[in-house]
């Protein structure tokens, strides 16, 4: 917003609010309530000053090419927010990769210390062969998982260990996938898919695609919207356009209350 009729300090506040709002997912109901409150407050403030302002406003405008009206702080703030809120569509904006990545990482930072064990059931089909496996990672009473930024760490017996993909001990390296997900998310190189319900939980769909030495890998993650924990992964490997392997991994977690 660049309104030449507003004080520079007010414009600075508006620009700051605009920058902060880019990383926030709008909520239509909250925005509607905010609109109503801003209009109500604006009317209250305007009513107090209307009688005094009407008598002198026209005389001030005479002969002036530009008029800067300095409003009280409360009215100026209400005006800024009102213009910004009214400028947003009521249906809301589609979430960006960066916003989804940040939300999942924050959720995992809250959830990870409560995870004590998890079960990963993997089904792999390669050619005409099928393979099923189950991995059951478990933390001891003195171990806890933590996230700092996009990195996962294990606290064990007074020592910190960073968790990397090489920590995997399961088929396909999928047992620690939820812990290494934020590192992948930080690059924003994924596509967002419509959410679906898995085990009664609403999820975010994320799809990664990469090609290495002529082989294309497509990995689809279904991530619990509330906890950030991975519930399901489907991975497809293709060569020359033909599917050579399919992996499916289901996750179930044990957490402290």
pLDDT tens for 150-194 read 889 999 989 999 888 776 778 777 888 888 888 888 887 899 999
Does the pLDDT of residue 40 top 50, yes or no? Answer: yes
- In a domain, residue 159? The reply is yes
Please indicate, yes or no, whether residues 51 and 132 belong to a single structural domain of this protein.
no
The answer to whether the beta carbons of residues 204 and 101 sit under 8 Å apart is no
The answer to whether the beta carbons of residues 207 and 222 sit under 8 Å apart is no
Say how many domains are in the chain: 2
pLDDT of residue 164: 81
Domain of 237, in residue numbers: 107-255
Mean pLDDT of 244-256: 95
Residue 238: CB atoms within 10 A of its CB come to 15
Pairing mode, strands 230-239 and 191-193: unpaired
Does the pLDDT of residue 9 top 80, yes or no? Answer: no
More reliable by pLDDT, 221 or 16: 221
Please indicate, yes or no, whether residues 122 and 225 belong to a single structural domain of this protein.
yes
Q: Distance between CA 133 and CA 124 in Å, rounded?
A: 9
Q: Among residues 18, 44, 70, which one ends one of the domains?
A: 70
Q: Distance between CA 14 and CA 8 in Å, rounded?
A: 10
Please indicate, yes or no, whether residues 152 and 64 belong to a single structural domain of this protein.
no
Average pLDDT score over the chain: 75
Q: Distance between CA 11 and CA 15 in Å, rounded?
A: 6
Does the pLDDT of residue 223 top 50, yes or no? Answer: yes
- In a domain, residue 222? The reply is yes
- In a domain, residue 1? The reply is no
Mean pLDDT of 36-43: 62
- In a domain, residue 82? The reply is no
Select, from the ranges 9-18, 56-65, 145-154, the one with the highest average predicted confidence (pLDDT): 145-154
Apex 86 CA angle, 51 and 90, nearest 5: 145
Q: Within 13 Å, how many C-alpha atoms sit on residue 201's CB side?
A: 18
Please indicate, yes or no, whether residues 138 and 190 belong to a single structural domain of this protein.
yes
Select, from the ranges 30-34, 74-78, 139-143, the one with the highest average predicted confidence (pLDDT): 139-143
Please indicate, yes or no, whether residues 66 and 119 belong to a single structural domain of this protein.
no
- How much is the pTM? 0.62
Q: Within 13 Å, how many C-alpha atoms sit on residue 141's CB side?
A: 0
CATH number at 212 reads 2.50.20
Does the pLDDT of residue 224 top 90, yes or no? Answer: yes
Q: Name the percent of the chain lying above pLDDT 90.
A: 41
Lowest-pLDDT range, 10-19, 189-198, 248-257? 10-19
Q: Distance between CA 150 and CA 164 in Å, rounded?
A: 12
Query: Burial of 17 by CB count in 10 Å (0-12 exposed, 13-18 middle, 19+ buried)?
Result: middle
What would the pLDDT profile of 55-99 be if each residue is shown by its tens digit?
433 333 333 333 333 434 444 444 444 444 433 433 444 578 899
Q: Distance between CA 185 and CA 244 in Å, rounded?
A: 26
Q: Distance between CA 11 and CA 117 in Å, rounded?
A: 51
The answer to whether the beta carbons of residues 174 and 122 sit under 8 Å apart is yes
pLDDT of residue 171: 74
Q: Which residues pair with 250 in a beta bridge?
A: 121, 232
Rg, the chain, Cα only: 27
Please indicate, yes or no, whether residues 124 and 223 belong to a single structural domain of this protein.
yes
Please indicate, yes or no, whether residues 63 and 115 belong to a single structural domain of this protein.
no
Please indicate, yes or no, whether residues 66 and 167 belong to a single structural domain of this protein.
no
């Amino acid at each position: 917003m660049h309104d030449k009729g507003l004080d520079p300090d007010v414009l600075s506040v508006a620009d700051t609010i605009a920058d902060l709002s880019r990383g926030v997912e709008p909520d239509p109901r909250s925005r509607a309530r905010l609109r109503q409150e801003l209009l109500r407050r604006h009317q209250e403030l305007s009513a107090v000053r209307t009688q005094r302002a009407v008598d002198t406003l026209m005389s001030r405008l005479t002969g002036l090419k530009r008029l800067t009206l300095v409003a009280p702080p409360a009215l100026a703030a209400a005006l800024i927010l009102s213009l910004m809120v009214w400028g947003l569509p009521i249906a809301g904006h589609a979430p960006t990769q960066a916003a989804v990545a940040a939300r999942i990482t924050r959720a995992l930072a809250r959830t990870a210390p409560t995870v004590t064990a998890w079960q990963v059931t993997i089904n792999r089909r390669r050619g005409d062969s099928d393979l099923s496996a189950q991995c059951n990672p478990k933390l001891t009473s003195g171990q806890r998982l933590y996230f700092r930024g996009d990195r996962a760490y294990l606290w064990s017996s007074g020592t910190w260990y960073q968790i990397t993909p090489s920590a995997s001990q399961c088929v396909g390296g999928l047992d620690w996938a939820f812990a290494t997900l934020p590192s992948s998310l930080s690059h924003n190189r994924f596509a967002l898919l419509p959410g679906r319900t898995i085990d009664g939980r609403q999820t975010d769909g994320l799809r990664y695609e990469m090609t290495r030495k002529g082989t294309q890998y497509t990995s689809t993650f279904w991530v619990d919207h509330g906890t950030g924990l991975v519930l399901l992964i489907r991975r497809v490997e293709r060569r020359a356009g033909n599917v050579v392997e399919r992996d499916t991994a289901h996750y179930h977690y044990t957490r402290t209350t």
